[in-house]
Amino acid sequence: MNWLGIIVALGVIFIVLADAFEVMILPRRISHAFRPARLFYRLTWFLWRKASRLVPAGKWRHGFFSVFGPLSLLALLSMWGIGLIVGFALLHWSIGTVLTFPRDSNSSFGTYLYFSGTTFVTLGYGDIVPTRIWGRALSVAEAGIGFGFLAIMVSYLPVLYQAFSRREITISLLDARAGSPPTAGELLRRLAADRCMVNAEALLVEWERWAAELLESHVSFPVVSYYRSQHDNQSWIATLAIILDTSALLISSIDGPDRHQARLTFAMARHAAVDLGRVFHTPPRSPETDRLSPTDLIQLRDSLNSVGLPLHDNAANTAALSELRSLYEPFVNALGTYFEFAVPLFLPAKLPVDNWQTSPWTRRSPNLAELPMGLSPASVSPDVH
């Protein structure tokens, strides 16, 4: 009996089961440093980001990044399964489980590895079987653990995709409300232009709930954070930034009855940004370029004033907006850098083209300026999907 092998085998089995439990079942943030899944994702994501530099920028690179989330989950499940199979094989080999096997086989570690694999997945060919009580008991335990492990992992896949789908609903709704990519300035301009600022409070309530669910789901299942949106000009980080930008503007520079709800939404969204930064170990870092320079702020005021939504321009309001931005921008920017997501500006760099207005089969009508969105056909591309 090899006691060192037994200790190592039990350690491997325990680490794999504990890691799988923490990642897939335990609904809270794990604070201890040693986590195989965390090391796995940090290493594989680092390599994936490096490999992405070989892929042409644009939709090809977006497609390359979109594969990582589902593929990494399959790889993680495979890593756990292989770890358990190797652990049980080492345990059988260490305690000297007596096996009956065909004449062309022998009691090498490879034989135990094969026996462990067929037992773990409950395949049960019957060509190699244990003959003594301890070997049989361990085989039954492995088969039970393997069956339960595979059942739990498979049953949690729909949970992950449901969390992803719920997250994407609000992201998709921003398309017609704030353009693609969405910006806070465009959102407020459209609301004011259509005389719908009274609907801002309902949006803030919806966003507060979305931010709370984002925090809960992405802390419980961090792998969902790597899942990309359907369109390359949308992301959950961009949506989080838009929510914070809009709330900051409503709190600091715009008079309205929804300022209280804007504070609540801002608090929840910042909470999500900070806690997710802790989950992924992304210390805050300020953007390299100012997302709302003095020139952009003047342009934003002019844009909102033109639709009857005055933006206060005194020093106190400007200072309040700057202070609010300092509370969240470094955290959102750090997350965007880590996940390779672009954090949108307060104003669109050019007239936005909504995803719903594009198609690979049709082109825009030259009469688009008369539509409620008031967009120009100049920046239309045949397909932004």
Per-domain residue ranges of the chain: 3-155, 158-354
Q: In residues, how long is the chain?
A: 385
The pair phi, psi for residue 32, each rounded to 5°, is: -70, 150
Q: What pLDDT, on a 0 to 100 scale, did the predictor assign at position 353?
A: 72
| 329: nearest Cα among 343, 313, 315, 342 | 343
pLDDT of 48 strictly over 90? yes
What span, in angstroms and rounded, lies between the C-alpha atoms of 332 and 328?
6
Q: Would you put residue 343 in left (φ > 0), alpha (ψ -120 to 50) or beta?
A: beta
pLDDT of 4 strictly over 60? yes
CA 332-334-338 angle, 5° bins: 115
Q: What pLDDT, on a 0 to 100 scale, did the predictor assign at position 366?
A: 41
List pLDDT tens digits, range 221-249.
888 999 998 888 889 999 999 999 999 99
pLDDT tier for residue 358 given thresholds of 50, 70 and 90: confident
Centre a 10 Å sphere on the Cβ of residue 256 and count the other Cβ atoms it contains.
14
CATH 1.10.287.70 is the classification of domain 3-155 = yes
Residue carrying the six token digits 């504070």: 263
Residue 346 contacts residue 300 (beta carbons within 8 Å): yes
What span, in angstroms and rounded, lies between the C-alpha atoms of 290 and 194?
30
What span, in angstroms and rounded, lies between the C-alpha atoms of 247 and 231?
25
- Which distant-in-sequence residues (6+ apart) come within 8 Å of 380 by Cβ? 353, 357, 358, 363, 364
List pLDDT tens digits, range 111-136.
888 888 888 888 877 778 888 888 88
pLDDT tier for residue 44 given thresholds of 50, 70 and 90: very high
Centre a 10 Å sphere on the Cβ of residue 42 and count the other Cβ atoms it contains.
14
Residue 18 contacts residue 32 (beta carbons within 8 Å): no
pLDDT of 348 strictly over 50? yes
| 184: nearest Cα among 352, 345, 373, 375 | 345
Q: What's the Cα-to-Cα distance from 80 to each of 53, 122, 128, 147, 153, rounded to whole Å? A: 29, 16, 24, 13, 10
Token pair, residue 26, equals 């335990």
What's the whole-model pTM score? Answer: 0.82
SS3 129: strand
Q: What pLDDT, on a 0 to 100 scale, did the predictor assign at position 106?
A: 64
pLDDT of 376 strictly over 50? no
List pLDDT tens digits, range 242-293.
999 999 999 998 887 678 899 999 999 999 999 999 989 999 999 988 999 9
What span, in angstroms and rounded, lies between the C-alpha atoms of 155 and 35?
22
Mean pLDDT of the chain: 85
Percent of the chain with pLDDT over 90: 41
Enumerate the β-bridge partners of residue 33.
Answer: none
List pLDDT tens digits, range 170-187.
899 888 888 888 899 999
